[in-house]
Amino acid sequence: QKEVEQDPGPLSVPEGAIVSLNCTYSNSAFQYFMWYRQYSRKGPELLMYTYSSGNKEDGRFTAQVDKSSKYISLFIRDSQPSDSATYLCAFSGGYQKVTFGTGTKLQVIP
């Protein structure tokens, strides 16, 4: 079983749609849960970060963590063409080694 599983997509949605991106993980030692956004030909940038189960909201973005199911999600409300990017889930056990998902490519159509 892979340590992190993420659907690579691509995911294509119309502008204004709600987007749901998901990852599952198998390592119980993970305690930090992150989402990075990577635009084409750019470095990943941190979008959301959490360390507890439940929801964390930041503007149009909501990160959800379910530690019992080892499942994390990122929701994007009112998606915009500028949200078109690859979204990487990331996990850490707190020892500076971050494990990334393979990324989901999202395209928001105007």
Partner 1 sequence: DTAVSQTPKYLVTQMGNDKSIKCEQNLGHDTMYWYKQDSKKFLKIMFSYNNKELIINETVPNRFSPKSPDKAHLNLHINSLELGDSAVYFCASSQPPGTSGYTDTQYFGPGTRLTVL
Task: Give the residues across from 86 on adjacent strands.
Answer: 38, 105
* SS3 label, residue 84: coil
**The only residue of 59, 82, 97, 110 in contact with partner 1, by rule CB under 8 A:** 97
Query: How open is the CA angle 5-29-54, to the nearest 5 degrees?
Result: 75
* Closer residue to partner 1, CB minimum distance, 88 or 108: 88
Stretch that binds partner 1, among 15-23, 33-41, 52-60, 68-76 (CB under 8 A): 33-41
Which residue in the block uniquely carries the two structure tokens 């915009």? 80
Q: Which two tokens stand for residue 10?
A: 């691509």
> Please, what is the minimum distance in Å from the beta carbon of residue 79 to partner 1?
20
Binding site for partner 1 (CB under 8 A): 8, 32, 34, 38, 41-46, 49, 51, 86, 88, 92, 94-98, 100, 102-103, 105
